[in-house]
Amino acid sequence: MSEKQSTEQQSTEQQTTEKLTTEQDAGREFEGETTRTEDQDLPGAIRELSARARAASRRLAQLDRERKDRTLAAVAQGLRESRAALIEANQKDLDRGRESGLSRALLDRLALDEARIEQLAAAVEEIIALDDPVGRVVQGRTLPNGLRLSQVTVPLGVIGVIYEARPNVTVDIAALALKSGNAALLRGGSAAQSTNETLLAVIRDALRATAAPVDAVLSIDAHGRDGATELMTQVGSVDVLIPRGGRELIQHVVRTSRVPVIETGEGNVHVFVDASADPSMARDIVVNAKAHRPSVCNAAETLLLHRDAEAAGREVLRGLLRAGVDLHLDPRAQEWLPVQEPEDPARSGVEGQVLELTDEDFATEYLDLQMAVGVVDSLEEAIEHIGRWSTGHTEAIITDSVAHADRFVAEIDAAAVVVNASTRFTDGGEFGLGAEVGISTQKMHARGPMGMGELTTTKWIVRGEGQVRGARAESSAFPGSCPGD
């Protein structure tokens, strides 16, 4: 390991540059991107698109499940039939991304190949198989005066989604919106311009072919970042905005939007290896949580090791280094590093580097093959540490103690809390939702992976036979009170 440590300064500089690049990518949609709009009346253009989406949402809300599923089946078929065109368009985006210096994390999210296109089509078909979330009776009763009440689920209406370098989101949002009876206004960003244009054409062709409202899925990409900012003002036309991307993009939308926002997924995700953790289980879970796909928000970013989990800690650190993960270690974790082993011809690839830990590392969502590692003295200290640094996405414990697992679940405040499994399972598809709009880290109106159910609200239906409400006593009426009182 000493040879690796000798390159520590160089590696630190390189990783700092990559981290800054990722953060700059996250904010590029609003801070550095050249706007492509040349509209003389940008507000008018966005108002028109919003009005078209609103009109489409009213028609879409009247479609039954069979009509909506037929449209989704046409989308899935169109994706498969358009594979060559999609890969060609995606390659243009990837080439532009590399030339402009997009980070490895965003390039990975941007990429489409035949396997990923098939996954998109399969996800649409999974949504077809799910029950229609619209029209479900939440509760109902008959009042003493004979009024019949029912609370039923209805679409939100028009959903605006702002995201970056994620072509899969275009399909996921469109499919979930259509099945739940909502229209979607999409801002997919310049990084995925060619891919999203091709995907949108496939989706709108499917709408047209099945006599569904074509304007149920619209893009504002032609109006650039100024168009996205204007979308945030469309109170009354757009019911909710959902940003998906890096911290800078999400926080910009949260701070700027006048339309209600569902805040999604910055994932500073922790895994705590308890004293009783099985070493092999701990290694497999942590390596999967970090290295399976490091560029996504449910990938682990910080590893906490109990001081009495030395055997598991050594095994986990060895596995992470072999997976190519660069480890930012506190002094106690450095003592558990594996000794230099003889070269194994059966193994190939570059091992991860060893770096010193700073508080900044605990605050960082790397989205890369890097991980902060610290040793804690107790379960209480682990819970306190996670409470300080967590973004409320996903937190995990590996333990053989039921009592420790139950306490961790009870005290950790996150959208998902995982016991003895990888954090990579916090995903709409894995949860059986078919796909996800995003992973909400707030507590209202939705939390965790958001499927179709989170794209609905409720409506009270009151049926009567001429009932009128009696007058209240004058003494109980307060000026300025709610008219329903």
Q: Under 8 Å CB-to-CB from 293, ≥6 apart: which residues? A: 108, 299, 424
The token duo for 192 is 């995925």
**Cα(341)–Cα(376) distance, integer angstroms:** 27
What count of Cα atoms within 13 Å lies in the side-chain half-sphere of residue 336?
27
**Cα(415)–Cα(440) distance, integer angstroms:** 7
Q: Under 8 Å CB-to-CB from 346, ≥6 apart: which residues? A: none
**Cα(397)–Cα(403) distance, integer angstroms:** 12
Instruction: Supply the DSSP symbol for 191.
Output: G
How, if at all, do strands 456-463 and 448-449 pair? unpaired
**Cα(216)–Cα(60) distance, integer angstroms:** 7
Q: Which pLDDT value is given to residue 7? A: 41
**Cα(259)–Cα(94) distance, integer angstroms:** 32
Whole-prediction pTM: 0.79
The token duo for 287 is 């390596």
Q: Which pLDDT value is given to residue 235? A: 95
The token duo for 372 is 């902060």
Q: Under 8 Å CB-to-CB from 171, ≥6 apart: which residues? A: 75, 79, 120, 123, 124, 199, 203, 435
**Cα(423)–Cα(393) distance, integer angstroms:** 10
**Cα(401)–Cα(127) distance, integer angstroms:** 37
Q: Which pLDDT value is given to residue 34? A: 39
Q: What is the pLDDT of residues 71-130, one digit of tens each?
A: 999 999 999 999 999 999 999 999 999 999 988 878 988 999 999 999 999 999 999 999
Residue 349, sorted as left (phi over 0), alpha (psi -120 to 50) or beta, turns out to be left
Q: Which pLDDT value is given to residue 248? A: 84
Q: Are 124 and 76 in contact (CB under 8 A)?
A: yes
Q: Which pLDDT value is given to residue 259? A: 96
The token duo for 360 is 């900044």
**Cα(201)–Cα(190) distance, integer angstroms:** 17
Q: Which pLDDT value is given to residue 35? A: 44
Q: Which pLDDT value is given to residue 31? A: 38
The token duo for 37 is 């709009």
Q: What is the pLDDT of residues 168-226, one digit of tens each?
A: 999 999 999 999 999 999 999 899 999 999 999 999 999 999 999 999 999 999 999 99
Q: Are 83 and 203 in contact (CB under 8 A)?
A: no
Q: Return the CA Rg of the chain.
A: 25
Residues of the chain with pLDDT under 50: 1-37, 342, 345-348, 475
The token duo for 400 is 């053989």
Q: Are 241 and 253 in contact (CB under 8 A)?
A: yes
User: Which H, E and C letters describe 421-450, residue by residue?
Assistant: CCHHHCCCCCCCCCCCCCEECCCCCCCEEC
Q: What is the pLDDT of residues 133-155, one digit of tens each?
A: 999 999 999 999 999 999 999 99
Residue type, position 270, single letter: H
Q: Are 268 and 389 in contact (CB under 8 A)?
A: yes
Residue type, position 197, single letter: E
**Cα(447)–Cα(483) distance, integer angstroms:** 32
